[in-house]
Amino acid sequence: MAKGEVRWFNYKKGYGFLSQEGKEDSDIFVHISAVKDSNVKRLEKGQIVEYEIQEQDNGKSAAANIKILQEAPEEAKEEK
């Protein structure tokens, strides 16, 4: 399992990106279906999450089996 932070998530577009702990420039794509499949109510910028990295049909990586470890600090929520 990888660990990181929600960089951003747009519910209207249906996707966002998560950081990878220890890998600065390698954000991981996350689709709305992965959020729903993980029974996560909502992803918000600044949340600390744990997730699996799976390869998509197009060869790119995406997050799956997302688990929220820590809610976002209030100042991160206000930056939306």
- Give the model's confidence band at 78: pLDDT under 50 very low, under 70 low, under 90 confident, else very high: low
Average pLDDT value for residue range 68-78: 80
Which pTM does this prediction carry?
Answer: 0.85
Tell me the per-residue pLDDT of 38-67, one tens digit each, with 9 for 90 and over.
Answer: 999 899 999 999 999 999 999 999 999 999
- Work out whether the CA dihedral 62, 67, 72, 78 comes out positive or negative: positive
The answer as to CATH 2.40.50.140 being correct for domain 2-78 is yes
Q: How far apart are CA 9 and CA 17, in angstroms?
A: 6
Domain parsing of the chain, residue ranges:
2-78
Amino acid at 42: R
Buried b / exposed e along 23-58 (16+ C-beta atoms within 10 A) = eeeebbebebebbeebebeebbbbbbbbbebeeeee
